[in-house]
Amino acid sequence: MCLAIPGKIESITGANGDVMNIKGKVNFGGTLKEVSLAYVPQAQVGDYVIVHVGFALSIVDQEEAMKTFEYLKEMGELEELKS
């Protein structure tokens, strides 16, 4: 029940009206799809959102995303030190 994928918001329409009608054109690696942004009304053009069946469910937290890789990088450096 969980196929949701990340894409970048390229444009937003309806931001000044009813929040239920806010839509965005989202770019998934070159494929564009119109997506409802009703559940992430604070999203801006340029944000990455996680989309499931036509609805953005969250805005990708880029800082947190970096943390995974920093943690792995540290682990890698520790491994090198030990070896």
Partner 1 sequence: MKYLDEYRDPKLAAQLSRQIHKITTKPWVIMEVCGGQTHSIVKFGIDTLLPDKIELVHGPGCPVCVTPLEMIDRALAIAARQDVIFCSFGDMLRVPGTETDLLSIKAQGGDVRIVYSPLDAVKIAMDNPKKEVVFFAVGFETTAPANAMAVYQAKEQGLKNFSLLVSHVLVPPAMEAILSSKNNRVQGFLAAGHVCTVMGYREYPPIAAKYKVPIVVTGFEPLDILQGVAMCVQQLEDGRHEVENQYARSVKEQGNIPAQDLISKVFCITARKWRGIGEIPQSGFSLSPEYKDYDAEVKFNLGNIKTQESPECISGLILQGVKKPHECPAFGTKCTPEHPLGATMVSSEGACAAYYRYKRIP
Partner 2 sequence: MDSLNCPFPIQQYPHVLLAHGGGGKLMQQLIEKMFTVAFGPKPVSGLHDSTVLNLPANKIAFTTDSFVVHPLFFPGGDIGTLAVNGTVNDLAMSGARPLYLSLAFILEEGLSMETLWQIVRSIKKAADSAGVKIVTGDTKVVDRGKGDGIYINTSGIGIIEHDLSIAPASVQAGDAILINGDIGRHGIAVMATREGLDFETTIESDCAALNGVVDLLIKDGIDIHCMRDLTRGGLASALNEIAQDASKTIQIDEASVPVKEQVASACAIMGFDPLYVANEGRFIAFVPESEAAMALEILQSHPLGLGACLIGEVLGEHRPGVTLKSFIGANRVLDMISGQQLPRIC
Binding site for partner 2 (CB under 8 A): 1-3, 5, 7, 28-33, 52-53
On the CB side of 73, CA atoms within 13 Å amount to 5
- Using the minimum distance from each CB to partner 2, give the nearer residue, 1 or 81: 1
Give Cβ neighbours of residue 50 (< 8 Å, ≥ 6 apart): 4, 5, 6, 56, 57, 58, 59, 60
Residue numbers at the binding site for partner 1 (CB under 8 A): 1-8, 19-20, 28-29, 36, 38-41, 48, 50, 52-55, 57-58, 60-62, 64-65, 67-69, 71-72, 75-76, 79
